[in-house]
Structure 1
Amino acid sequence: MTQRRDELSAELAALEEELAATTHPRTRARLEADRAAVLEALAALAGEPPPAPASPPAPVDQSGQAGGLSLGAGNTIQGGVTTGDVIARDKYAQQIGTVHAGRDAFVAQQQTFNYYGASVEDVAPLLHTYLVELVGSCARLSLAEVAATDPKQTPLHLEAVYVGLEVQRQVEVPPPEPAAVRERAIRVIQGWGFAGVEAYAETYEVTVERALQFVTEQLGPAATHRRVRALETLAAQRCLVLTGAPGSGKSSFLNYLSICLAEAHGGASEALARLEPDWPHGPLLPVRALLRAFGAWVDAQPTHHRAASELFWEWLEHGARLSARLVGHLRQAFAHGQAMLLLDGLDEVPRGVEGATVRRVRAALDELGRGAGRVLVTCRVLDYQQPERQLATWPVEELAPLSSALREALIDRWLQSLEALQRLERGSAAVLATRLHQALHRRPELRRLAGNPLLLTMMIRLQAYDGNLPEEQVTLYRRSVELLLLQWRQDAAGRVALGEVLELPGWSESALNRLLDHLAYGAHARSVAGDGEQGADLPCEIVLQTAAAFFALFDPDRRYERAEKFLTYLNAHSNGILQRHDQQIYRFPHRTFQEYLAGRRLLSDEGWPDEQPEFVDRALACSARGPQWREAVLLAVSQHALEGRLRPVFSLATELVQRARANQTAADRILAAEVLAEVGHVRVAQQRPELWAMLQAELTHVIEACATADQARFPVVERVRAGFLLGTLGDQRMPVSLAAWQQRLTEREVPGAQAYFRLIPAGAYRIGSDADDPDAYDDERPQHLVPIPDAFWIARLPITNAQWQVWVAQGGEAAPFADDDDLNHPNQPVVGVTWEEAKAYCAWLTRELAAALPVGWVIRLPTEVEWEAAARGQAARRYPWGDTWREDSAAMADDRATRGASWTVPVGCYPTGATPEGLLDMAGNVWQWTLDRYHSYPGSEKPFTRETLVVVRGGGYNTDRTLVRCGARGWNHPYYTLHDQGFRVVVSPLVRTDVLNAGF
């Protein structure tokens, strides 16, 4: 003890000498703090009370935290995703009680954890206060509140809504036990209304094992891998770096873990239960810290030869202003493996001169990582790719976007918690959650954003307080930006507003928005089509130049001064719109906002060169740079349309078509159609109907044009995209209204490339597959001739959703996938309808169109023979187009990953797959019902009869090429509704419906 007293006395003398020699305010403040700490230590050795501090300790300002949750000044969370039951501070303080009450064994163990002679009992009150304040600082979510300026609202806490996170890494899932698979199949069968598997097998005249096999196949393959849970991987590593994109939930995860461990350390056993089953390490003492604050403090410290890790503990005492006794206790607990360091934001550590600050912080973390305690460090994923920030020996995991299950859980918990606080005025939590789930399912642009917890929280907030998300994408982005910019206003949390920092009394939201627009346009001008979800790099000097040029509008003499202040403010107060990537690069962390703001810049008339005086000129110039400008241009068009300025929109569409014709490109035709779609059919039809009709023709050209007989002019991804757009504009390739059906029936004998019905002459047709066909199945043999005594007409395309909907409007059955946005576009084939429903649709058409049909003729499903005769032709082709395989001729497994749609595509998108008679989609896209029951062919070596099954033909969007051969057969139960099964119709004499399998 004498030696320790001598060391402290010598240190005090040195501090007094340094204080006498310096006048720098920051240096003096640091030295005063060090001097107070030494005096406190000396007093403790002497058994005297420590000297009173000159001023109360200042709260740690955590306002600049980026990504996930952000802690504001005064330790108030200012954004991000959160979790669990609403826990008030008083409730926690009451719950935690005496910090070590009831835990005598742990207290005994910690008798060695004393510092400056302090006992555990002396530390207990300090630890109690520390844990209570830690929970309070980590728990509150002001983003959830209706008005950020209302401090009286009941707070919503993190624990109320937390749903857990996953990392990108996946692990194998053990295959399910056969008994479990069987039980699942039986439950499905019972769900279909059968008493059991035996009753099901008896109904369909198959064995029990065959029935189970069939049902198991319908269930699809079991998952072979799953993502690892973030807590699961943290528990497996003593030290871990957790990376993620801005807003991905890094801080939320760290805060939630801090809360649970703090409560558990105080004796709340249920707090540990919330971490099960992934946390086996018990109630470790949490030490939560912002590395940005630690780095800033380190930057001001002289370089010493002491251990790097000493800096961290010194900072907790002198920088974070924790009691020396408490810091000693935390340090001893960590040394004995009883504490966990939760260190947030390695990306925010200032680089320092030639990277010195980052190196010192990294050295401290490396040494801490070699201790006995556990350590978690978070960092943005792109920042951690920089070698200077990497902790070489530490394992690294990256947070994954929220899965659909986690998205749904987060939505439900947020809205239920707000309902419990009586904050919902636009509907119940269940109703609002259903609307938001449906919006995410229906709108791909929302799903793209919703994987990010911060942005999903924005959507939930808009849904909670407005009742619905804006239908217009541009409005959703505007509202989200407004919410994020709340953090740059002064409010109850104590933030200083940006305008106040800039010393611009006339500063307004409009000015801030215009500045962001300029910066976003500059960033987007540097982007390329493959930039992905992150915005483009925006070098520091460009940010400064752009900001300086903007601030010159206020005061040219102070433009650079204000530009630097803006940059400093931006570094300290990230808000999810524009953030620092490293010391030299800034980014819009979500490309969506970069595109929205760049599009908003296109609308402004200020500061453009003379050759781009109008919006149309600017939009044409940007769209010519590449597809990365598509979204920005469309968002600008959408804003024009919302405000009723349609003349420039129509001019832009016309100019794009003219450019497309000159350059023979599909991209400009597609963009022109998307421009008109933003305006909507009604307004275009009222003001420029000829423009709408022109775009319909241009899109049809993209879909159908062929460069040669076996090569489409445009790539499949452009044809499919054009097909979906054509469905929006109104696809004229098939009859939809009853009047259109009548016209097509009347024109069926008129030759022409666009005729909807194609004639299949009477004659003998070869049916089935050759004996030496290596791809053929037994049920396709033997090949044989079948006479078709009467000619018939078959529809060129499968029946579409739009055609089916006309029947539904008159009382027909709705298609089972009518609410599925992957399958319900107007010109996608209708799928999931049963055999009986398909026949009922045909009977309805026959009744409605009787006047246009020859006497005794009907509209119906084709027989199996008719279908194959139409596909093969009298030349008995192997594939609809010929005898050899032709790439890019069918929507099937080969091109599913590249065609731009994972499910069915709009009908007729594969022009080189047409038969010589002009039929499309006879191979791939959807299996098609026929009229026939599933029987073996005459002369089969293995004859069979399956009266309970119906033949389907053509193959689906995910089948291989062996099943799109003309001779390939499929079967299904007539009442099953599958997402790859549709139908087409024929027009023929009634007698054919009564003579099935003629000639067999």
Structure 2
Amino acid sequence: NKADLPGAENAWTVLLGDPGSGKTTFINYLTYLSVTQPTALPAPLANLLPVRLILREAAARHIASNATRGTAQMLWAALQDDIAVRLGDVAAQRLLPYLQERLLNDGGLVLLDGLDEVPEAQQRRKTLLEAVQELAGTLPHDKSRILVTARPYAYADPRWHLNGFSILALAPFSEDQVDRFIMRWYQTVRGSMGWNLDTARDKGKRLYRVLKERPYLADLASRPLLLTLMATLHSSWGQLPEDRADLYEETVKLLLGRWQRAREVKGPSGELVVEPGITQTLRVGEERLRAALEALAYAVHDRQRQEAARDGEPADISEGEVLVAFRALLRNLDPDSLLHYLKDRAGLLIARRNGVYTFPHRSFQEYLAACHLANQPQFAERLQQLLDEDPRWWQEVFLLGVGKARQGGLSNAVSLISVLLPEDPEDIGGGELTEKHLRAAALVGMALIELRLIDKAERHPIYEAIIRRARKWLLRIVEGGHLPASERAEIGDALGRLGDPRFDPDFLFLPRQYQGQPEPFWGFVEVPAGPFVMGTRRRSAGALPEEGGGQKKLDIPYTYWIARYPVTVAQFRAFIQAGGYDSPDVWTKEGWAWRTGEWDRHVDEGALLDW
């Protein structure tokens, strides 16, 4: 937000953001705009001389391990060194005095990236903060703007806070920003992919539609790193995997790849050092590394279940839990080597604050927990036991576990589902349906939809049988009023997608049966004249959020007919296909006025209220 950038109120600012949230990209983009399009920046930043430094490199080369105090001269030396790398030593020696004079007299936009990447060891971070503080004090306050970036954990301790600096956090992407990112992504990669402008634009629109059609992707897409991974998959494959489990599997592989790539970094004396990937450092294969991550995900997900605050965030993971999970891989390796990767690489575990880590999103925690269970003996039985203990908590793990099982073949996934729902409702011993039975049936319905089994069941008797069984269970829940109303609404939707037997596809999808008996009036019920109570009691258990307004007693003086169910999508489609949407003959006068957008001009207020 332009209003939040360093301006009159926030001349000095620390910008916080998780790994992959775009801190460095933001710094680079500000630098780019300052040089090429200064008028695109907020007024306080426009036409300021930009200076960008990477703090990790500045600390490595210009803060000695025995330094007792940080000074502005350390950062000036780092700036000269940065110029020398690009323009040579002679140019740097000539240019630095000019830059110093400009900045000290006219101010500038000083961009300092990566405070969190400066190690705490040997007081380097403390010394660097002192250097930043002294530099800020030497620049003209009314003409200068300073922006320092850091991960939240590195700035959580008040000891590291810079005096006089305000704190901002990078917000997740909005829908408009997601759309712009996707369009610009495809315009950027189209050259390497051999696409023309129209093809790139069309592919971007397709990815955006997919994100809108799959609600579970919306939160992932708001995070720049995860959106980048999805865009990478989509542009490489031509589409995102249709199954959630497949999408998470491919994304996990990409994130593991970030950990495993070697990279060049500057050592304590400024020399270039090749830092190996994590599998090389641990001297283990990717399979064992992943198994440790999966075991960790399951352990913390199980532990989080027992905590008072069970929100939608991934669990906080202590260093101790991480080291226990990786204990077999560390052997004689210093544990700090592992923790270094977690802090400095944006992989499958990220540092949330000092000594605390987390998965980049709750869904990755749940998917990896499902993978851990899938690799254990008696996977189905263990998953059923967990669902018996806490069905709502383990729901996503179950659904992703079904998707994981499908990666080994559709029959594996169907077998897993069959363990959870082994018989029809009428065959339950004693005839009593417990909440455990009902919730298991609801989960099976969701799993069948995620597998899209309805599209694959034709001429497969086993698949057809499990779908018929699921329909019976879901119908029993909906018609029997079991489970809270909000859950029944989801179950009714699942039943519709699996083929609701109550509705006749050969007769406008109108109801043909209710509780096993024929519907004599296609789902319409006659209501006699008299009083009725409208609404739901306040704070009633199972009420939908919009139903909390309380009850009101009304008296209807005439007999009327009302449909047992709201109009379904299939019914409305049949209505449109028959021409009803465009035919005034099947609308009331008031309804047709509304349909054509003319009701406010042709219907008086009294008639509208009566209607």
The verdict on a shared fold, with TM-score over 0.5 as the criterion, is: yes
Structure 2 partner of 1:804? 572
Structure 2 partner of 1:637? 402
AA matched with 1:517:
E
Deviation at 1:744, TM superposition (A): 5.0
Match of 2:321 among 542, 546, 552: 542
Counterpart-to-counterpart distance in 1, 2:391 and 2:475: 23
Go from structure 1 to structure 2 and tell me whether the alpha carbon gap of 1:526 and 1:292 turns closer, same or farther (over 3 Å shift): farther
AA matched with 2:38:
L
Secondary structure class of the residue paired with 1:343: strand
Secondary structure class of the residue paired with 1:471: coil
Structure 2 partner of 1:484? 255
Go from structure 1 to structure 2 and tell me whether the alpha carbon gap of 1:318 and 1:715 turns closer, same or farther (over 3 Å shift): same
Q: How does 1:603-622 map to 2 (within 5 A)?
A: 603-605=374-376, 613-622=377-386
Deviation at 1:258, TM superposition (A): 1.8
Go from structure 1 to structure 2 and tell me whether the alpha carbon gap of 1:688 and 1:411 turns closer, same or farther (over 3 Å shift): closer
Counterpart-to-counterpart distance in 2, 1:351 and 1:582: 14
Identity %: 28
Structure 2 partner of 1:654? 421
Q: Is the 8 A contact 1:415 1:432 kept in 2?
A: yes
| 1:521 and 2:298 aligned | yes
Structure 2 partner of 1:272? 38
Structure 1 partner of 2:267? none
Structure 1 partner of 2:470? 695
AA matched with 2:569:
N
Q: How does 1:410-425 map to 2 (within 5 A)?
A: 410-424=181-195
Counterpart-to-counterpart distance in 1, 2:117 and 2:508: 66
Instruction: Choose 540-549 or 294-303, whichever is displaced more.
Output: 294-303
Counterpart-to-counterpart distance in 2, 1:424 and 1:739: 45
Structure number with larger C-alpha Rg: 1
Deviation at 1:495, TM superposition (A): 5.7
Secondary structure class of the residue paired with 2:15: strand
Q: Is the 8 A contact 2:293 2:325 kept in 1?
A: no
AA matched with 1:238:
A
Go from structure 1 to structure 2 and tell me whether the alpha carbon gap of 1:533 and 1:495 turns closer, same or farther (over 3 Å shift): farther
Structure 2 partner of 1:401? 172
Q: Is the 8 A contact 2:55 2:112 kept in 1?
A: yes
Structure 2 partner of 1:592? 363
Go from structure 1 to structure 2 and tell me whether the alpha carbon gap of 1:633 and 1:339 turns closer, same or farther (over 3 Å shift): same
Deviation at 1:442, TM superposition (A): 0.4
Counterpart-to-counterpart distance in 2, 1:594 and 1:637: 16
Go from structure 1 to structure 2 and tell me whether the alpha carbon gap of 1:379 and 1:628 turns closer, same or farther (over 3 Å shift): farther
Instruction: Choose 309-318 or 626-635, whichever is displaced more.
Output: 309-318
Go from structure 1 to structure 2 and tell me whether the alpha carbon gap of 1:838 and 1:301 turns closer, same or farther (over 3 Å shift): farther
Secondary structure class of the residue paired with 1:581: strand
Could you report, residue by residue, the CA deviation over 1:648-689 in whole angstroms, capped at 9, with x for unpaired residues?
422343279989944468654432322232332245673154
| 1:566 and 2:341 aligned | no
Secondary structure class of the residue paired with 1:436: helix
Go from structure 1 to structure 2 and tell me whether the alpha carbon gap of 1:836 and 1:284 turns closer, same or farther (over 3 Å shift): same
Q: How does 1:192-231 map to 2 (within 5 A)?
A: 231=5
Q: Is the 8 A contact 1:548 1:560 kept in 2?
A: no
Go from structure 1 to structure 2 and tell me whether the alpha carbon gap of 1:544 and 1:977 turns closer, same or farther (over 3 Å shift): farther
AA matched with 2:113:
D
Query: Size of the alignment, in residue pairs?
Result: 544
Could you report, residue by residue, the CA deviation over 1:481-537 in whole angstroms, capped at 9, with x for unpaired residues?
2223333445797663333333x3xx4333333233233333333334866565212
Structure 1 partner of 2:103? 334
Could you report, residue by residue, the CA deviation over 1:568-592 in whole angstroms, capped at 9, with x for unpaired residues?
34434x1342123344222212223
AA matched with 2:315:
A
Deviation at 1:230, TM superposition (A): 5.4
Structure 1 partner of 2:548? none
Normalising by the residue count of structure 1, what TM-score does the alignment of the two structures yield?
A: 0.48
Counterpart-to-counterpart distance in 2, 1:744 and 1:312: 79
Deviation at 1:619, TM superposition (A): 1.7
Deviation at 1:727, TM superposition (A): 2.6
Go from structure 1 to structure 2 and tell me whether the alpha carbon gap of 1:229 and 1:736 turns closer, same or farther (over 3 Å shift): farther
| 1:345 and 2:118 aligned | no
Structure 1 partner of 2:487? 718
Q: Is the 8 A contact 2:417 2:444 kept in 1?
A: no
Could you report, residue by residue, the CA deviation over 1:625-664 in whole angstroms, capped at 9, with x for unpaired residues?
4634322321121121242213542234327998994446
Structure 2 partner of 1:973? 594
Go from structure 1 to structure 2 and tell me whether the alpha carbon gap of 1:429 and 1:579 turns closer, same or farther (over 3 Å shift): same
AA matched with 1:677:
I
Counterpart-to-counterpart distance in 2, 1:766 and 1:595: 50
Q: Is the 8 A contact 2:173 2:221 kept in 1?
A: yes
RMSD: 4.1
Counterpart-to-counterpart distance in 2, 1:478 and 1:631: 15
Go from structure 1 to structure 2 and tell me whether the alpha carbon gap of 1:462 and 1:352 turns closer, same or farther (over 3 Å shift): same
Counterpart-to-counterpart distance in 2, 1:742 and 1:287: 70
AA matched with 2:75:
F
Could you report, residue by residue, the CA deviation over 1:284-339 in whole angstroms, capped at 9, with x for unpaired residues?
333322334445668753243x5644443455568998767355554444322433
Q: How does 1:660-809 map to 2 (within 5 A)?
A: 661-663=433-435, 667-679=439-451, 680-683=453-456, 686-705=461-480, 714-738=483-507, 741=510, 743-744=512-513, 747-749=518-520, 756-760=523-527, 794-806=562-574
Counterpart-to-counterpart distance in 2, 1:715 and 1:580: 39
Q: Is the 8 A contact 2:374 2:401 kept in 1?
A: yes
Secondary structure class of the residue paired with 2:147: strand
Instruction: Choose 621-630 or 476-485, whichever is displaced more.
Output: 621-630
AA matched with 1:475:
D
Normalising by the residue count of structure 2, what TM-score does the alignment of the two structures yield?
A: 0.76
Q: How does 1:440-455 map to 2 (within 5 A)?
A: 440-455=211-226
Go from structure 1 to structure 2 and tell me whether the alpha carbon gap of 1:279 and 1:235 turns closer, same or farther (over 3 Å shift): farther
Secondary structure class of the residue paired with 2:591: strand
Deviation at 1:443, TM superposition (A): 0.4
Q: Per residue, is there more helix in 1 or in 2?
A: 2
Deviation at 1:476, TM superposition (A): 1.6
Counterpart-to-counterpart distance in 2, 1:514 and 1:673: 30
Counterpart-to-counterpart distance in 2, 1:402 and 1:416: 19
Q: Is the 8 A contact 1:519 1:543 kept in 2?
A: yes
Structure 2 partner of 1:581? 352
Secondary structure class of the residue paired with 1:470: coil
| 1:836 and 2:583 aligned | yes
Secondary structure class of the residue paired with 1:759: strand
AA matched with 1:721:
E
Structure 1 partner of 2:271? none
